[in-house]
Amino acid sequence: MNDPEGNRPGEKMENVPEKTGTFVTDLPLWKRLFLLFFTFAKIAALVVGGGLAILPVVEETFSKKYKLLSSEDLLDMAALVQTVPGIIAGNSAAFVGMKVAGYPGVVAAVIGVILPSVTVITLIAAFFPGLKAENPYVLGAFAGVKACITGLIIVTAGKLAVKTLKGAYEGIAFAAYLVMLLFFRINAAFVIFLSIPVGFLYSYILLKRLSAEKGGTK
């Protein structure tokens, strides 16, 4: 199935180091596991609203700081964590864990991501069962965090848009899906399921055209 001609135009132009399969790093395994556990625990403890709010922090830690993920990996992550069933936080932890340290990494990242919830919620349920957040400062702090996360997601969305929208197909498909989500209230799962055959169709047409062109020049 390996077909070098199947590359989409422009895909190879990026200066991203190819990091397929084999993982090159100087960090020892225990350090990577600790990093995964600690980062995902930190994300889960700080981020209110979960899910996609994880992306900016993953990019900062694993891509910029430790260079364990390429920008291509981040793009794949943003796409796949929303495609595979499961909550986005858990999917992101498992996805990054696998990339960075294999299956032990998955376990470390997933334990990290559930630990703050288990601790905090259990403490609240055990000691303050009737807790209602009425303290204006607490509410204000949460409003501040949500506003900050909104800003972080906007930045991440902008970066991903630059990387994803490389041609007419991406632009038109993106606009169509966004209109479906925003104005026609079409379910997110349906949009993802629709996008898969569309992607296969487009890739197939591209492949056919490329081989036809090659045949023509010979």
Taking the complex as a whole, the smallest distance from the CB of residue 172 to other proteins amounts, in Å, to: 8
What 3-state class would DSSP assign to 177? helix
Which of 67, 141, 211, 214 lies at the binding interface for other proteins (CB under 8 A)?
Answer: 141
Cβ count within 10 A of residue 48: 14
Distance between CA atoms of 110 and 149, rounded to whole angstroms?
Answer: 22
Q: Which of 14, 86, 211, 214 binds other proteins (CB under 8 A)?
A: 86
Select from 98, 122, 124 the least CA-distant residue to 110: 98
- Of residues 24 through 83, those in contact with other proteins by CB under 8 A are 42, 44-52, 55-57, 60, 75-76, 78-83
Among 14, 31, 144, 208, binds other proteins (CB under 8 A): 144
170 binds other proteins (CB under 8 A): yes
Residue 108 engages other proteins in binding (rule: CB under 8 A): no
| 140 scored as a contact of other proteins (CB under 8 A) | yes
Closer by beta carbon to other proteins, 10 or else 28: 10
Nearest residue to 69 (alpha-carbon basis) of 101, 107, 29, 111: 101
Could you say whether residue 20 binds other proteins (CB under 8 A)? yes
Residue-level length of the chain: 218
| Closest CA relative to residue 160, chosen from 79, 64, 57 | 79
Is residue 3 a contact residue for other proteins (CB under 8 A)?
Answer: yes
